[in-house]
Amino acid sequence: MFNKEGIPFFTITTPFLSVIFIAFFATSYHLKTTQTNFNDDLQIFIQLNTSNPTISTKDLESMIQVKKEVFEKRNEEFLNFMIVITFTVCIFMILFTFLMTSIISEVIVKYKNQVKNKETILKNLNDTLSSKVTEGIAEGKRKDKAILAQSKLARMGTMISMIAHQWRQPLSELSGILMELETATKFKKVNEEHILKSIDKSDKMIEFMSNTIDDFRNFYKSDKQKEYFSILNSCQKAISLINATLQDGQIKLILDVKDEKKIFGYPTEYSQVILNLISNARDVLIEKNIKKPQITLSLKFRGSLSIVEIADNAGGIKDDNLELIFDPYFTTKDSSKGTGLGLYISKLIIERNMGGELSVRNENGGAIFKIEVLG
């Protein structure tokens, strides 16, 4: 069916068979047609000359024999001519077929070489693909670890800053108690009751400071498994931790709760996202020195979909930055104030860990961050 180059056998034999068939058919048809015409003509010739008294029977037979010989000679010449023509065409077809076979063979060889080269390339790629994938996974893990490490450092800095704000008031009160005791001692007006009251106040301040440390430690402890939790409670935990810094910046926080239900997820991580979004809003309000700064946290449900929106009145985010705001290491803050990981980590928590969506838009002279999670 195929030769060694892969060329179908019929492409070589078909031209020859076609030429031979056409030549045989044309010759047979021509001989049959001329034989019939000759017989008709001969019958007419015999009829015309039979009634002629000047021509004898012997002469008529001689004339008929001559005509037959001439006819046979012409047929033989035609047959020889057709053989020569057929042979010539066959020779031409042989040369043509040889030329075409050579060209096709060359094309096939080139194609085979190209396929072979591509197969070699693919084989090399397959051989190195596993190692490249392994390297890529390892590199991705290294980057994730670096991001998480920087995120932990950033959260630690935020936690220390918030603890400092939470401790500022009780430390001031402790200092006032000690100054009062010192003054009373100098003027010798101190008594046992006064001392006990001062100790009691101091114990309460110290207990408050200790509880603050516990609250922050528990707040930043990662959840190990999902559970049903109240969104309002998670929001209130975040607000309690940042409330002192909001008061220092004279920032008004409005909590608008239209509905309250429980959802399934990680309550501590959810609170961390709320805290991060409120913290970012606080920073931009202070940075832009907004008059009458305000943050609104609204909570509502649409069927089983929980929607939390955190809005500020800081003028919104630049249009060029809206698509980049959730990228890792992207920040509009000074390098000493932000790492560009807070919103990236928040988006991972909401979308990857809880199957929700975290988005942002500009509206009513400020930015609105929207958290959507199915219950």
Structure confidence at residue 318 (pLDDT): 87
Nearest alpha carbon to residue 372 among 295, 272, 299, 266 = 299
Which token pair is 153?
Answer: 């450092």
Taking 80 as the threshold, does the pLDDT of residue 366 lie above it?
yes
pLDDT of residue 310: 94
Q: How far apart are CA 184 and CA 251, in angstroms?
A: 38
Residue 121: the pLDDT is 84
How many Å separate Cα 3 from the centre of its chain? 47
Tokens of 91: 């020779």
The pLDDT, as a whole number, for residue 56 is 65
Give 320 or 67, the one with higher predicted confidence: 320
Identify the top-confidence range among 50-54, 95-99, 342-346: 342-346
Return the HEC string of 241-276: HHHHHHHHCCCEEEEEECCCCEEEECHHHHHHHHHH
Task: Give the pLDDT mean for 301-315.
Answer: 91
pLDDT digits (tens, 9 = 90+) for 4-44: 555 555 555 666 666 666 766 666 666 667 767 667 666 76
Residue in 174, 203, 198 with CA at minimum distance from that of residue 184: 198
* DSSP bridge partners of 262: 230
Q: Given this model, what pLDDT does residue 2 score? A: 45
Instruction: Flag whether pLDDT at 299 surpasses 90.
Output: yes
Helix (H, G, I), strand (E, B) or coil at 209: helix
Average pLDDT over residues 62-85: 74
Cα–Cα distance for residue pair 31/161, rounded to 1 Å: 116
pLDDT tier at 339 (50, 70, 90 boundaries)? low
207 in Cβ contact with 127 (< 8 Å): no
Of 335 and 78, the structure prediction assigns the larger pLDDT to 78
Q: What is the dotted CATH code of the domain comprising 224-374?
A: 3.30.565.10
Place of tokens 């959507």: 372
Whether the per-residue pLDDT at 294 is higher than 80: the answer is yes
* Average pLDDT of the residues in 241-246: 82
What pLDDT does residue 367 have? Answer: 92
Residues 6+ apart with CB under 8 A from 293: 249, 250, 251, 252, 285, 286, 312, 313, 314
CA distance 338 to 229: 30
What is the DSSP pairing of strand 227-230 with strand 262-265?
A: antiparallel
Domain extent listing, the chain: 10-124, 143-204+206-212, 224-374
Q: What is the DSSP letter of 315?
A: -
- Cα separation, 348 vs 355, whole angstroms: 9
CA distances from 160 to 185, 262, 277, 349 (A): 35, 31, 18, 22
Out of 156-165, 170-179, 353-362, which region has the weakest mean confidence (pLDDT)?
156-165
Going by pLDDT thresholds of 50, 70 and 90, the confidence category of residue 224 is: low
Residues 292-315, mean pLDDT to the nearest whole number? 92
Compute and round to an integer the Cα radius of gyration of the chain. Answer: 52
Parallel/antiparallel/unpaired status of strands 305-312 and 262-265: unpaired
What pLDDT shows up at residue 296? 94
Average pLDDT in the 182-200 region?
A: 78
Residue 85's contacts (CB-CB under 8 Å, 6 or more residues apart) are 23
Q: What is the pLDDT of residue 97?
A: 73
- At residue 31, the pLDDT reads 63
pLDDT at 268 over 80: yes
The answer, yes or no, to whether residue 50 has pLDDT greater than 90, is no
92/241 Cα distance (integer angstroms): 98
Tell me the average pLDDT across 44-66.
67
Q: Which two tokens stand for residue 15?
A: 């031209």
Average pLDDT over residues 358-367: 90
Residue range 41-52: average pLDDT?
65
- Cα(179)–Cα(201) distance, rounded to whole angstroms? 13
Please tell me the predicted confidence (pLDDT) of residue 362: 92
- pLDDT computed for residue 356 by the predictor: 92
Report which residue type is found at 157.
G
